[in-house]
Structures are given as C-alpha cells and as structure tokens.
Amino acid sequence: MSDVDITRTLRETIERLEPTDSDVSLTTELLEEARLRTDEETLQMAVETALENAVEHAASAVIVAVEDRPDECVITVAEDSSGILEDKLLPIEAQTETRLQYGSGLGLWQLRWCVDSLNGDLSFETEPRTTVRIAVPDRRESSPSD
C-alpha cells in the first residue's frame, strides 16, 4: 500500500499503451492531481487492462477520465464501439465463472480480479458506448478531524 497519484499513474499507463499504428484517438480528462492510498501495481494492471481492451475494440476514440471524490477516485474508460457482448459481461458482473471455465474475455476477468483486490467497484455500461468505471477507495485510516 502506498500513496498514489492516480493522475500520474494514468498518464504513465496511457503513454505506454497509446496506439501509434491505429486510427483510434485517445483523449484524457484528467485532474492535475488525484491522490489516494492503494496498491499502485494492482491499480496499474487494472487501468492497463481496461485501456488495452478499449483500444482494441474502439471504432475511433477512447476517452479516459478521473473523478476525485472524498473517499475514492473513479476512473472511467469509454470507447465508441457497439459494446461488450452481454454473454461476456454477465459472468464478470455476477462473478460466477472462473478463468478455467471461461475461455474468452480473460482481460475482463483480470480487470475484475484487480478491482476486487483493491476493494473497489467495477461497473459497465454498454449504451450508447462501452464505458468501464473503476471506483478505487482511499485506504487511508480515518484521522480525527481538527
């Protein structure tokens, strides 16, 4: 567990994954800084998985945004495809399959495992575009107010 600048982590991950041989544009809506205490390596893996999936399936655009809330940060990755197929999404949301039972869409399972290990929330929207929301709680211990 460490103090993580979510904005910096997102920028670094985007820089590594930004498509150079693709017609997909990547746009960011990031804050100057958004900090919380979490597992940085697991967070990077979650963001990387969501971004790789978005870039792979996007028709032309991916948007990455972050919202800083009092007890959490919400990372949104949206792309302009027709969406994740319902039969792939239902088991991920219900957590009813294991990696061995579910042969395709392992990236979605990796995303689910990462967010679960961060004690976060993962949600999907498929209309009008595919949107993945990762809510990561701030794991700092509550401090007495002044």
pLDDT tens digits, residue range 99-143? 444 444 567 888 889 999 999 999 988 777 889 999 999 988 644
Q: 3-class SS at 88?
A: helix
Find, among 82, 127, 129, 134, the residue nearest to 108 by Cα: 134
Say if 45 falls within a structural domain.
yes
Say if 57 falls within a structural domain.
yes
List the domain range (segments joined by +) for residue 39.
2-137
Question: Which CATH number belongs to the domain containing residue 109 in this structure?
Answer: 3.30.565.10
C-alpha to C-alpha distance for 87 and 108, rounded to whole angstroms: 12
Summarised one tens digit per residue, pLDDT across range 45-99 is 999 999 988 888 888 899 999 999 989 999 999 998 765 555 555 545 555 544 4
Say if 146 falls within a structural domain.
no
Identity of the residue numbered 27: T
Number of domains in the chain: 1
Say if 144 falls within a structural domain.
no
Beta pairing class for 72-79 and 61-69: antiparallel
Say if 35 falls within a structural domain.
yes
**Contact present, 56 and 107 (Cβ < 8 Å):** no
What tokens were used for 144? Answer: 């007495």
Say if 84 falls within a structural domain.
yes
